[in-house]
């Protein structure tokens, strides 16, 4: 059987993708709070949550130690900047009723993540993963041809998250610490912007109901938990596996966009959706075959 570490990685990545898939419900429940303001609140609350947990688990010295390693601060800052940009685009798109458009972005994203894995980390594609990526590529291509334009929201989401994933593969840290470093450098700016929004009456306190304020107070947990799970997965499985698992998230969101938010969905989009899921069937079968045929198989955290 595969190592326990690998199984944990697969489980964490899967739960992360499922959680992200249902998050549009949470974001739309916060309207009419400004999407930009939500991002700044997110930075502050995530930093608070992760600092408290990190302090409890590792102590102040444990928090400071990774920051002393040369080059880490820049990596943490860039990772934080990229994931903040990704969240900003995503939340703004969801609250502007472009839920299905975000799905296209997150369908493209695993292909870019897997490509980065092959190019940057010399990971290898097995035959089942190759077939899975081929189906995914065809499904995305059909959507791109159908729209007959460059989907900027979709491409921005895909590229920023793929770059974020690649940077995270260059350092291995406990998930909570990693998320703390990715937000702590942005906290001063976030606090300043929240104060500005509230003073001018356009922040959460000026427009949100008491229930929405309660929901907003949970934003640290709602966004930290899937990112922590994602980090735990990224540190234990290959980028190729991680990339394909991430198709779960946009598939759930797509169903929400159609049946809950009542966004337009036509035959071509449905056809693309089916093609991508056929690819996921190949991936799942390939994973099963590897477990059965290679009892001693173990993937390293870097996928190499």
Quick check: is 303 in a domain? no
Q: Does position 173 have pLDDT exceeding 80, yes or no?
A: yes
Least confident of 68-82, 93-107, 156-170, 237-251: 237-251
Quick check: is 156 in a domain? yes
Q: Give the predicted TM-score (pTM) of the model.
A: 0.81
Q: What Å distances lie between residue 227 and 107, 110, 179, 218, CA to CA?
A: 18, 16, 7, 15
Looking at residues 231-236, what average pLDDT do you find?
82
Query: What distance in Å separates the CA atoms of residue 3 and residue 294, rounded to the nearest whole number?
Result: 11
Structural domain for 193, as ranges: 4-293
Say whether 99 sits in a helix, a strand or coil: helix
Number of domains making up the chain: 1
Quick check: is 299 in a domain? no
Contacts of 96 (CB under 8 A, 6+ apart): 35
Q: Does position 222 have pLDDT exceeding 70, yes or no?
A: yes
pLDDT band at 294 (very low <50, low <70, confident <90, very high): low
Quick check: is 300 in a domain? no
Quick check: is 138 in a domain? yes
Looking at residues 120-136, what average pLDDT do you find?
81
**Long-range CB contacts (< 8 A, 24+ apart) of 21-25?**
21/248, 21/249, 21/250, 21/251, 21/252, 21/253, 21/256, 22/252, 22/253, 22/256, 23/222, 23/226, 23/253, 24/94, 24/99, 24/102, 24/253, 24/256, 24/257, 24/261, 25/256, 25/260
**33-72 per-position pLDDT tens digit:** 999 999 999 999 999 999 999 999 999 999 999 999 999 9
Query: What distance in Å separates the CA atoms of residue 54 and residue 118, rounded to the nearest whole number?
Result: 33
Quick check: is 35 in a domain? yes
Quick check: is 301 in a domain? no
Quick check: is 304 in a domain? no
């Amino acid at each position: 059987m595969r190592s326990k570490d690998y199984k944990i990685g697969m489980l964490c990545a899967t739960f992360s993708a499922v959680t992200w898939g249902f998050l549009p419900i949470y974001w739309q429940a916060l309207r009419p709070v400004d999407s930009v303001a939500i991002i700044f609140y997110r930075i502050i609350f995530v930093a608070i949550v992760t600092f408290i947990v990190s302090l409890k688990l590792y102590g102040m010295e444990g928090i400071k130690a990774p920051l002393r390693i040369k080059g880490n601060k820049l990596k943490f800052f860039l990772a934080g900047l990229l994931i903040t940009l990704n969240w900003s685009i995503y939340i703004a798109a969801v609250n502007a009723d472009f839920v299905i458009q975000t799905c296209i972005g997150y369908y493209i994203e695993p292909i870019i993540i897997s490509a980065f894995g092959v190019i940057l980390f010399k990971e290898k594609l097995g035959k089942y993963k190759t077939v899975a990526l081929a189906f995914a590529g065809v499904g995305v291509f059909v959507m791109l041809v159908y729209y007959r334009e460059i989907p900027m929201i979709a491409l921005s989401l895909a590229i920023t998250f793929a770059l974020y994933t690649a940077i995270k593969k260059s350092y291995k840290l406990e998930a909570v610490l990693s998320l703390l470093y990715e937000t702590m450098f942005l906290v001063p700016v976030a606090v300043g912007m929240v104060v500005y929004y509230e003073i001018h009456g356009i922040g959460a306190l000026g427009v949100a109901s008491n229930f929405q304020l309660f929901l907003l107070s949970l934003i640290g947990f709602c966004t930290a938990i899937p990112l922590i799970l994602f980090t735990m997965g990224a540190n234990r499985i290959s980028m190729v596996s991680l990339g394909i698992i991430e198709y779960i998230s946009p598939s759930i969101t797509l169903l929400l966009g159609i049946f809950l938010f009542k966004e337009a969905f036509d035959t071509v989009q449905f056809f693309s959706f089916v093609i991508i899921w056929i690819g996921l069937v190949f991936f799942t079968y390939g994973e099963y075959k590897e477990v059965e045929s290679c009892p001693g198989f173990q993937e390293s955290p870097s996928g190499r």
